[in-house]
Each structure stands twice: as structure tokens, then as C-alpha cells.
Structure 1
Amino acid sequence: MKAVIISAYTELKDMNKGFKYSIAQVNWWLLKHGDLYREVSNTYNKLCNDCLDWQAKGLPIDCLSKPVYCNKNSDFHSYIKFYDELDKATQLNKLEQQCFNANDEYLLCSKEDLRDWVIKHYDIYEKLGTYFFGYLEFNSKDDKNLHIAEVHDKSFGVDIRAEDFKSSLRFYDVYFDLYDNQKLYPEKIKEWDELFSKIQLPKENYE
């Protein structure tokens, strides 16, 4: 199965020498290799025969040390993660129309209407916010391509061209300013602040 995984990577790599892909190209690759993804996932989530035998005898299994015979090997895990990251990008791309509509509404808003607009579209921002924050930070100021994923050996990565997220990026920039900078939805900010204040990080023991 490892050879099939390498072949799938190679096909995507050869599709675009600049590693800047359209969302349509990514969708095509995901669809073509969906069966492989399901096969790899099912295999990865099952204990191998050796581990099942040890488990039946009440012995500890050896998955953590990643022996060569184990189903939970790094090649399978890397492929699953890579596929999931690309799939996440295509799912978020489906918000483009909602963002386009929200942008049109924003252009018609008076200053008094902006708070209502922020409250109404918070759910879109919540879906995009963390994702865009994580992936846009890898790019230069003049290039807003989304750096989505890299194969495990770093031989190539996948950037999604900005035009495929044009409405989402515009929405994100406007909303970020109104929400984070102008703080037009303070109740939600307070809600998150209170939630984070309850999270206790483990104390380091310096003794």
C-alpha cells in the first residue's frame, strides 16, 4: 500500500509544478483517491495480527514503537493527515457564496447597522477564523495563497490560489477589523475571555 500512496502523492505533485493549485484540482485529486484514503484509514485503525495475538494473551501491544509490521505506521498516518487537510480546505471553500452574500450586505450597511451585521455573521467567522489564521501566517504580505499541507518528507506542499477564496478572504479581513479591532460584538469577546480564564494549564515543576 505504501507504493500506492507514493504514486498518489506523485500524481498530485506532477499536476502542478509550482505547487499552487486550484480548488478544482484538489477536489479532483481527493475524489480520485478517496477509496485509498478509506482503505488506509481502515487499516490504520485496526490492530495488526501480531498485536491482536498479544492482546488475546494479555500481553501489551507494540504500536507505540511503530514496528515495521504495525498498521499504525507513519506513512499511513501522514497520508491520512495530508488528505484530511486538503479536504478541510475544500469544505471551507463551500462558504464562498455565503461570504459573497455577507460582503454585499456589508457594503449596504450604515454605521449603525454594522454591529447587527457582525452578530449575524459570527458563525461564518468562527468557521474561517482559526483556519485562516493558521494557514495565512505562512505566506508573504503580497501573497495570500493558503498553504494547506505538505507531504511527510517535505518534497512538496500544496498552496490553494487566493482567487478561489476571494470572497472568504475579503469577508475575513472586514470581519476581523470590526470584531477584533473595533470590538462591535463585546459580549462574544467576553464569553471567550471567560472560557479561556477557566482553562488551567499544568504547572511546571521546577523543583
Structure 2
Amino acid sequence: MNESPFALQKVAYWLYEYNDLYIEILNLSKNPCNICVSNEAEGLPFDCLEEPDYCTKQYSYFTDFYKGVEYGVDVQRYDLECKIALDELEECKNLSDQKNWLIKYFNIGISKVAIFSYDHLDYSVKKGEVVHPHFGNSPVGEFGVCIDRKYYENLIQFIKVFEELFYEKKVYPEKLEKIRKQMEKIVIPMIPIPKID
């Protein structure tokens, strides 16, 4: 997948071409079979074993793939904003300026692009190999779309700098502490599981 990345425009055109099919499948997916409804009620993934004609959960591979690829095209729109942010950061000469920069671009860094590098860049490639973002990967890695890294260069650099300033250098410590406290509230304690002999 990483050897021959697609151009962003080609992927966007594919999304345009298959948008009607995607919407049609989403509309049809409002009628899952009894097993899918039961699995959903129990919090289990859709695994339609009956596969009746009216159950369209079997098409979730396509809809999940489409949503993943669509994210790849959508997140790229932040590349220009990240370029502007990086240019502004060059003017930040002291910690106070860097903190103000983090405050200004905090929403983008945490809410908009934070998961991009973790979920879409494959760091398992050989050292020195160019890593292109992957989108719409199937659960077992059978297929997905690789889009040329050049469309995301500023976004990737922004994430790197943002994480370094926020998490490593702790330039905005009060916000980091607030996030830590929020995370402590939502972490569910582990329930010991009895050993079965």
C-alpha cells in the first residue's frame, strides 16, 4: 500500500463517484436483521451470520471504508491552517509566546488532528522509508487507501511540534493537568476476573 500512494484529487473524485452508493447503503442499513439488532443491544459488533436479503450490515465494510477514506480527504483541509500556525510559531521566541501559540491552536491540535498520526501513519515501515498516510484500512489490513504524504506535510509537522510543546515540554501545564483530571474521572477501574480452573 505504501509503495504507490494516490493523489488526493483522485481519491476525492472516487468519493464523489461513489457518494450516491454510500448514501443508498446507509439508507438501506436502517433495516438490520434480528441478529444484528440483538448484537447491538448487547454492545457486540455486527456479525450477521444469517445474512438475510434485507440485512445490509454485511455492507459495513464498504461504509466503514468510505468513511475512513472520506476522513483522509477531509482532514487534509487543515494542512493550510497548520502551515499558517507553523509560520507563526517561528516568531515565538520565548515560552510565553509558545504558550500563547498553544492556546490559539489548541482546538486544532487536540480536537481536529490529534489522532491523525496515530491512526493513519504506519511507523512499522523500514527506517528511512517515506511514510504515507493510510485511510479506510480494513480490520485485518486486507485493503485501504494510501494518499501521498505531500498533501499532509504541514499537518504532520504541526502535530509533531504541538505534541512536543504540549506533552513533552509542558508549555501549557494547567491545561495538561485539567485533561489529566478529566481522564481520571472517566477511567473505569479494572474489575478483577476470577480465575477459572
TM value normalised by structure 2: 0.81
What 5-or-longer segments of structure 1 have no aligned partner? 1-15, 52-60
AA partner of residue 89 (structure 2): Y
SS at match of 1:129: coil
Give the letter for the 1:24 counterpart.
Q
Equivalent residue for 1:105? Answer: 88
The answer to whether structure 1 residue 96 and structure 2 residue 79 are counterparts is: yes
Counterpart-to-counterpart distance in 2, 1:19 and 1:204: 47
Q: Which residue pairs with 2:35 in the alignment?
A: 62
The reply to whether residue 38 of structure 1 matches residue 20 of structure 2 is no
Q: Is the 8 A contact 1:179 1:185 kept in 2?
A: yes
- Whichever of the two has the greater Rg, that structure is 1
In 2, Cα distance between equivalents of 1:203 and 1:86:
37
Q: 1:182 to 1:18 in 2, by over 3 A?
A: closer
Q: Which has the higher helix share?
A: 1
Structure 2 residue 148 is matched with structure 1 residue 164: no
Deviating beyond 4 angstroms after TM superposition, the runs of 4 or more aligned structure 1 residues are: 16-19, 151-155
Instruction: From the superposition, tell whether residues 96 and 197 of structure 1 become closer, same or farther in structure 2 (CA, over 3 Å).
Output: same
- Aligned-pair RMSD on alpha carbons? 2.3
TM-score, normalised relative to structure 1: 0.77
- Any unmatched runs of 5+ in structure 2? 40-47
1:168 & 1:62 partners in 2: Cα distance? 42
Instruction: Show CA shifts across 1:174-194 (max 9, x none).
Output: 111111110111122111111
Residue aligned with 2:90, SS:
helix
For 1:89-168, what aligned pairs fall within 5 Å after superposition? 89-111=72-94, 112-126=96-110, 127-140=112-125, 141-142=127-128, 143-151=130-138, 154-168=141-155
Task: Give the match for residue 197 of structure 1.
Answer: 184
Among candidates 14, 21, 24, match of residue 29 of structure 1? 14
Task: Render the CA deviation track for 1:39-94: whole Å, top value 9, x for unaligned.
Answer: 111111224xxx5xxxxxxxxx33354322142333x1110100000111111111
Alignment of 1:173 onto 2:173: no
Q: How many residue pairs get matched?
A: 179
Is the CA contact (8 Å cut-off) linking 1:41 and 1:80 kept in structure 2? yes
